[in-house]
């Protein structure tokens, strides 16, 4: 999961060079994980426009509860976003294309900063 998320970050920073590689990586995933990663890509793009938390560089769709996928919608009630070396709770709902290759919509809510003392228990890192 982290590998594809890293590829997602490359897509955002160098879209022309990385788009084909991201598509190849997504095609290797099963539909559920492909949908999650498509939402991570869209989510990072949108969250970077939100000035409340700095510049996010990683989005995890499920830290204490996995994101759910129903065929066209990913619902992540307990995710986290990393920005400026801090983690924040985030929840989101994201719709994807029928092939799960692209996210169509991404609606989110940013929660409180997650205390550093909880990072290890939640699988988060610096």
- In the chain, the percentage of residues whose pLDDT exceeds 90 is 78
pTM of the model: 0.84
How confident is the model at residue 85, as a pLDDT? 94
Query: What pLDDT was estimated at residue 12?
Result: 53
Question: What's phi and psi for 25, nearest 5 deg?
Answer: -65, -45
Model confidence at 4, pLDDT cuts 50, 70, 90, reads very low
**Position 58 pLDDT exceeds 80:** yes
Say what the alpha-carbon torsion angle 19, 25, 30, 33 is, to the nearest 10 degrees: -70
- Nearest residue to 125 (alpha-carbon basis) of 46, 57, 68: 57
> First CA to last CA across the chain, in angstroms?
17
Handedness of CA 117, 64, 33, 101 (dihedral sign): negative
Asked whether the CA dihedral 53, 56, 62, 67 is positive or negative, the reply is positive
pLDDT in tens, 20-51: 899 999 999 999 999 999 999 999 999 999 98
Pick the closest to residue 82 from 126, 45, 49 (CA basis): 126
The model's confidence at residue 71, banded by pLDDT at 50, 70 and 90, is confident
């Amino acid at each position: 999961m982290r590998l594809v998320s890293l590829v997602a970050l490359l897509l955002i920073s160098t879209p022309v060079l990385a788009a084909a590689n991201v598509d190849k990586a997504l095609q290797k995933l099963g539909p559920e994980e492909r949908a999650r990663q498509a939402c991570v890509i869209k989510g990072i793009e949108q969250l970077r426009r939100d000035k409340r938390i700095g510049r996010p560089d990683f989005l995890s769709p499920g830290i204490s509860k996995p994101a759910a996928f129903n065929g066209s919608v990913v619902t992540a009630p307990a995710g986290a976003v990393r920005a400026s070396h801090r983690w924040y709770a985030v929840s989101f709902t994201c719709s994807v294309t029928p092939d799960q290759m692209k996210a169509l919509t991404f609606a989110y809510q940013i929660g409180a900063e997650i205390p550093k003392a909880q990072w290890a228990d939640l699988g988060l890192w610096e």
